[in-house]
Amino acid sequence: MNYISNAFSLQMVRPEDLPQVRLMAIERPAAYEVGAATSIVGHADIAAVLGVAMNRASVTLERGDCLWVAQLIGGRLPEGCKTLPEGFRLQWILVEVLK
């Protein structure tokens, strides 16, 4: 399964799978454009910027799952933000639990 989030936590991975987790900086994922990921974005303003639903869900990543993390760089978004203000950017990180 594919997920999109604004954060990654070690609690998302079972301890026995930790040696099989790979993190990699990526460009904005192409599949994200067509809605191929379940949103687990827990912050309303970041969800609005990304154009996805806010969904404070807890997930445990399984082998073969991908988590696309949109890491906000530049500070805290102003409340009610719908676009990234000047000086802000998103750093995309792919988290994979290898098969």
At residue 32, the pLDDT reads: 65
pLDDT, tens digit, 9 for 90 and up, residues 2-60: 999 999 999 999 999 889 999 999 998 876 665 788 999 999 999 999 989 999 999 99
Q: Judging by DSSP bridges, how do beta strands 2-5 and 38-39 pair with one another?
A: parallel
Place of tokens 């806010």: 54
Domain 2-97 is of which CATH architecture? 3-Layer(aba) Sandwich (3.40)
What is this structure's pTM?
0.87
Domain boundaries, the chain: 2-97
Task: Answer for the pair 39, 52: CB distance below 8 angstroms, yes or no.
Answer: yes
Report the candidate in 98, 31, 95, 33 with the shortest Cα–Cα distance to residue 69: 95
> What is the percentage of the chain residues whose pLDDT exceeds 90?
74
Mean pLDDT of 58-73: 94
Q: pLDDT band at residue 99, thresholds of 50, 70 and 90?
A: confident
CA distance 52 to 74: 21
* Residues 25/1/44/90 CA torsion (nearest 10 deg): 10
- pLDDT of 97 above 90: yes
Task: Answer for the pair 7, 83: CB distance below 8 angstroms, yes or no.
Answer: no
